[in-house]
Amino acid sequence: MRILHVTDVYRPRVGGIEMFIEELAVRQSAAGHDVSVLSVTPDGPGRHRPGSVTEIRTPQPGPWPLPFLPRGGAVDVSSYDVVHAHLSVVSPFSTRVAQAAVRAGVPVIATVHSMWNGREGWIRIVGTIAGWRRWPVAWTAVSAAAAAAMKVPLGQQTPVAVVPNAVEVPWWREQPAVPERDRPITLVTVMRLAGRKRPLQLLDVLARVRDGVPDEVPLRAVFVGEGPLEDKLRARIDVLGLGDWVELAGACSREQIRELYRHSDAFLAPSHQESFGLAALEARAAGLPVVAMRSGGVGEFVADGVEGFLCRDDEEMTRALVDLATDDEMRGVMVKHNQTHAPELDWSVPLAGFERAYALADRSMRART
């Protein structure tokens, strides 16, 4: 099968969507498919490119006014068996290419990687211009939470299949956490330092955690990632007086992150709009308790009070972290559970899910024509 993945954002940019699409393309290629990725993201120097996947770059000026969404003529979409469009909140390039594929009679599936709740008005406008409701498209979402949010702009009658993200579970479990009595209680987060991920609010939570934990319990917090809020985070760390125990580690490789997890005690995911939580799943697979907001998709692989804690707001997150930092027995039980119960979200799950979605898209297009 010739598969064309289309995405507005792609490697070398680092994020959940970018990493997932690259790995999905590589694994589909390994399964015998002819796979290409089309994106408006410019390539960058020094990146290892998977040789089995064709990358097509078509940088476009932007942003684009709504009536003038960028054209999808960078490739002949009719030469593919399926076009797989990856959508965030608004993805004008992917939307336009998917529209062109529908007109060409090519089966299309559209995967939504973000939470659409709270943005329904804007998404309806884009969907109306693109004609989403008229498309014979197989819609998928990365979590049940994301799928539920899609029903408002798409219509309750629109079928949305849940095809979750995945990680290489055995790889993350190769090197379990190391018991260390003398190190600080270490809290780690991996995120793009951008507003929707709420890194500044997490600093406020950490300041309250320090106030709630006895002084004799040493703490360490590590932020892994880069983004537009990095300077503001450094300034906020100084204002809150957290510089002696909160660290901005910048971008790290997966090997470095896995090693960090071996010497950590919990993973933090403060975003209310986490459609899936790929970094949280990696930490969960590595054995760490995960403390996240219950409003997103993390709760689909973290049971509250078992693999971690799901919180309604920052106050609950603060209390959960204080409990984890001060209750060695509870923390040890969670770690042991996570180390002995692997999450059932390896790559076999999305690969099979997308095969079903491709077949559905093909039937829908044939029925239309």
Number of independent structural domains in the chain: 2
Residues 322 and 235 in one domain: yes
> Looking at the structure, do residues 36 and 107 belong to the same domain, yes or no?
yes
123 and 183 housed in the same domain: no
Query: Where residue 117 sits, what CATH number does that domain have?
Result: 3.40.50.2000
Do 283 and 305 lie in one domain? The reply is: yes
Same domain, 161 and 28: yes
Residue 358 to residue 81: CA distance in whole angstroms:
9
pLDDT given at position 46? 66
**Res 63: pLDDT:** 47
| Domain co-membership, 148 together with 201 | no
CA distances from 323 to 79, 255, 309, 342 (A): 57, 29, 10, 24
**Residue 127 has what pLDDT?**
75
Check the CA dihedral 326-329-335-338 and report its sign.
Answer: negative
One-letter amino acid of 195: G
Query: What are the pLDDT tens digits along the chain (369 aa)?
Result: 999 999 998 988 878 889 999 999 999 999 999 999 999 888 887 677 778 899 998 866 554 443 334 444 568 899 999 999 999 987 888 998 998 999 999 999 999 999 988 777 778 777 777 777 778 899 999 999 999 999 888 888 889 999 999 999 999 999 877 777 789 999 999 999 999 999 999 999 999 999 999 999 999 999 999 999 999 999 999 999 999 999 999 999 999 999 999 999 999 999 999 999 999 999 999 999 999 999 989 999 999 999 999 999 999 999 999 999 999 999 999 999 999 999 999 999 999 999 999 999 999 888 876
* Closest CA relative to residue 314, chosen from 184, 208, 163, 161: 208
Q: Which domain holds residue 146?
A: 2-166+347-368
Four-residue CA torsion sign, 224, 227, 229, 231: positive
In angstroms, the CA 360 to CA 75 distance is 24
Domain shared by 307 and 207, yes or no: yes
Same domain, 278 and 195: yes
Question: What is the reported pLDDT for 70?
Answer: 46
pLDDT of residue 74: 60
Asked if 163 contacts 354 with a C-beta cutoff of 8 angstroms, the reply is yes
Q: Which of 173, 170, 162, 122 is nearest to 138 (CA)?
A: 162
Q: Are 114 and 68 members of one domain? A: yes
User: Does residue 99 share a domain with residue 15?
Assistant: yes
**Cα–Cα dist 67/58, whole Å:** 20
State whether 209 and 270 are in the same domain.
yes
| Rg of the Cα atoms in the chain | 21
Domain identity same for 120 and 191: no
